[in-house]
A and B are shown apart, each in its own frame.
Chain A
Amino acid sequence: MTTKVTEKRMQEREEHPMERLLRMDRIPHIWCPTCGIGTTVTALAVALKQLQLDLNNVAIVSGIGCTGRVAGYTKLDSFHTTHGRAIPFALGLHIARPDLKVIVFSGDGDLVSIGGNHLIHTARRNVDITVICVNNFIYAMTGGQVAPTTPITARSATSPYGNYEHPFNIPLLAASSGAVYVARWTALHVRRLTVAIKEALTKRGFSFVEVIAPCSTLYARLNKLGSGLDLMKFYHDNSVIRHGADPKEVNIDYQSKIAVGKFVDIEKPTYLDCLNNAYKKKFGDKYKPYGGGNGDK
């Protein structure tokens, strides 16, 4: 009886706006209430919908961590890989299938610490993938340890007396390494973030979007910053829109103003453009431009 009622309800109810992108059979997700990852995933879902991309041609790759779980919830060809290695895995997938839109969705620890080398080199090569980096200033999945993004004086499980290491300015890292599109928004700038993700997805080359997100359970609690929602509002209210700002000037201090906006939007040949141009020049008509492998059944 109960089953029948549930089935009827399921049929009658409207499709959830996120259903197109989410694996509903894996919901509920593991993220804490007021975590910033949720709105970021929503922004991706809306961006993909507005761009009217055929979702069969979109693949997503994540590393490890809270944000690393995104690949597991998105109804795309999705890969949950090793810690830090989402970008090189995505590079291989992209080169094999340049016709697919390949998105890397991961956290600051994954992309900037253990995966930092891959981030800078893939940006340097201008590989045509989009990286969405949720920065919550902390290693959340493992219990709130200090990250290379943790602002000075912020407390974490492994910086109990306050962090004293200089943190990374991620947009500067991405821009100086060669990214052709770099933007930063907070998790509460959902509309602007959606626009940025749309721009990043349509940009040819290595595009990078940083999302400043609250970690309610660890960062907010360890630093006595109120609830996750308080922190989300704080980031939003303390952000200053500075489109075109020099990435050198967008570093984030503890509970400081946060420069947001589109910092870099330039044109540059992609990795595969460069490869094809160089070989075309060398071999002339003998060279057939590389178009990818056969993913055909």
Chain B
Amino acid sequence: MKADPKNVLTGSHYLDGNHASAEGGIAAGCKFFAGYPITPSTEIAERVSRRFPLIGGVFIQMEDELASMAAILGASWGGVKSMSCTSGPGFSLMMENFGLGIMLETPCVLINVQRGGPSTGLPTLPGQADMMQARWGSHGDYEVIALAPDSPQESFELTIHAFNLSEKYHMPVLVMTDECVGHMTERVVIPPAEEIELVERRYTDKEPGEAWPYEPTEGGVSPFLPVGKGYKFHVTGLTHDYRGYPVINAETQETNVRRLIDKVNNHVDEIIWLEEKDVEGAEIVVMAYGISSRVIQPAITKARKEGIKVGQIKMVTVWPFPEKRVRELAGQVKSLIMVEMNYGQVFLEMDRCAAGKCQTYLVGHAGGTVHNPDDIYKTIKEAVK
């Protein structure tokens, strides 16, 4: 299905990442936005609140982030594409109902414009230290999908992609941007609506009385049951069987949790999106995501000019982690370097997957500013030894 031209501001714009994220959501057909103001994400809510009235959407500023996340789940079950945005402390509050969204298998999109933490931290400065919270922030075992845009253009595109993934895999999908991308203003090209491909919700074709919300299917995702059509279905945050009925025992827990894990794990090859450059024959590969994937460029250019064989991987999806690719590379390269604005959250995964087959390096710091390219260059020099 193509995007609705009414929602798409086709043309060339000069937008910051937050405004571009808002346009991405709107282009994807989002018609319900519930949020709570928090720096540095608020411009997303502000733009949505301006744009929605004339295109049939509802923006509501909720009493807190707990309510915002709960409301977008409710609206999504009502059949409306829904999203919210937040940052640091708000992300912590949303984790409760993010878990409910995972458990109820509810499509929606949550944008976290990361700032420095912990706690109130650095409200106006960038960080990438919520990456492990994105992965494990809500209690229990589950898989997540998290995307990391590196620019306003990607903020637009990846928000649409996040909606598509959420509708495909029936789960909340995270867009993990940061203050730098959110407040960076660049050219954003919004294509014509007919060039924007959207995944629409797949509803059951069974009759009421014959359909259950979590029937086992080959891909692990059951068709959605619509509200108000006589299906009279039940869904619960408790461990449940295919009928959506709570069943409190280890066996059902195993089936339920495996379902949440497998529907992502069995499709990692489709979900994982990496952009590789000069990796073939490289001695050193620098991995980064979001804004950090741009900051590594001067260091790599400098090192390559000196004849160092250094390649790069931009992780457009951070979760699920590209485990297979990193294991493969670890057997081929001398060193893997992770560059991120934290003290080694995604690095831990890279290091685990390298499994001692190559050297691993972290270029990390506590956030508040992007990296100094010299620090990355120095690590490349160190790694090539």
Contact = CB atoms under 8 A, between A and B. Distances in A.
Answer yes or no: are A and B bound together in one complex: yes
Interface of A: 23, 25-26, 55-57, 59, 61, 71-72, 75-82, 84-85, 87-97, 99-100, 117-118, 120-121, 275, 279, 282-283, 286-288, 290, 292-297
Given A100-B228, A283-B53, A293-B75, 9 more contacts: A59-B228, A72-B246, A89-B71, A93-B77, A95-B78, A117-B63, A288-B56, A294-B80, A295-B79
B75 A93 contact: yes
Interface string B37-73: 0000000000000000110101010111011101111
B245 interface: yes
Contacts of A87: 67
A295 B226 contact: yes
A88 B74 contact: yes
Interface stretch (B233-241, B272-280, B310-318, B357-365): B233-241
B106 to A, nearest CB: 10
B208 to A, nearest CB: 8
Contacts of A296: 79, 226
A77 B227 contact: yes
Contacts of A84: 66
Q: Which of B70, B245, B246 has the most CB of A within 10 A?
A: B70
Contacts of B235: 78-80
B249 to A, nearest CB: 15
B159 interface: no
A50 B156 CA distance: 51
A192 B384 CA distance: 82
9 contacts: A77-B231, A81-B97, A81-B100, A93-B227, A117-B67, A121-B63, A279-B53, A295-B79, A297-B229
A118 B78 contact: no
Interface residues of B, number: 48
A82 B67 contact: no
A56 B228 CA distance: 5
Given A85-B70, A89-B74, A92-B73, A118 B232 contact: no
Interface string B69-92: 011111111111010000000000
Nearest to B108: A92
Given A80-B237, A295-B227, A91 B74 contact: yes
Q: Identify the 3 closest CB pairs spanning chains A and B, nearest first.
A: A96-B78, A92-B74, A293-B80
Given A59-B227, A82-B70, A95 B60 contact: yes
A92 B232 CA distance: 18
A90 B63 CA distance: 14
B373 to A, nearest CB: 44
Contacts of A23: 234
A164 to B, nearest CB: 29
B246 A56 contact: no
Contact of B234 (A57, A78, A82, A96): A78
A284 to B, nearest CB: 11
Q: Main secondary structure on chain B at its contact with chain A?
A: mixed
A92 B82 contact: yes
Contacts of A294: 79-80
A81 B180 CA distance: 35
Interface string B214-238: 0000000000001111111111111
Given A72-B245, A85-B70, A91-B71, A97 B238 contact: no
Q: Which of A80, A100, A121 has the most CB of B within 10 A?
A: A80
Contacts of B31: 293
B58 A290 contact: yes
B79 A77 contact: no
Contact of B78 (A57, A81, A92, A286): A92
A56 to B, nearest CB: 4
B283 interface: no
Contact of B232 (A55, A72, A85, A283): A55
Given A88-B70, A287-B53, A290-B56, A78 B233 contact: yes
B32 interface: yes
B97 A82 contact: yes
A80 B234 contact: yes
B55 to A, nearest CB: 9
Contact of A121 (B32, B67, B227, B231): B67
A72 B244 CA distance: 9
Interface string B234-265: 11111000000110000000000000000000
Contacts of A78: 232-235
Given A59-B228, A78-B233, A80-B238, A88 B75 contact: no
B203 interface: yes
A92 B233 contact: no
B34 interface: yes
A81 B82 CA distance: 17
Nearest to A293: B80
B186 interface: no
A104 to B, nearest CB: 11
A3 B1 CA distance: 50
Nearest to A119: B63
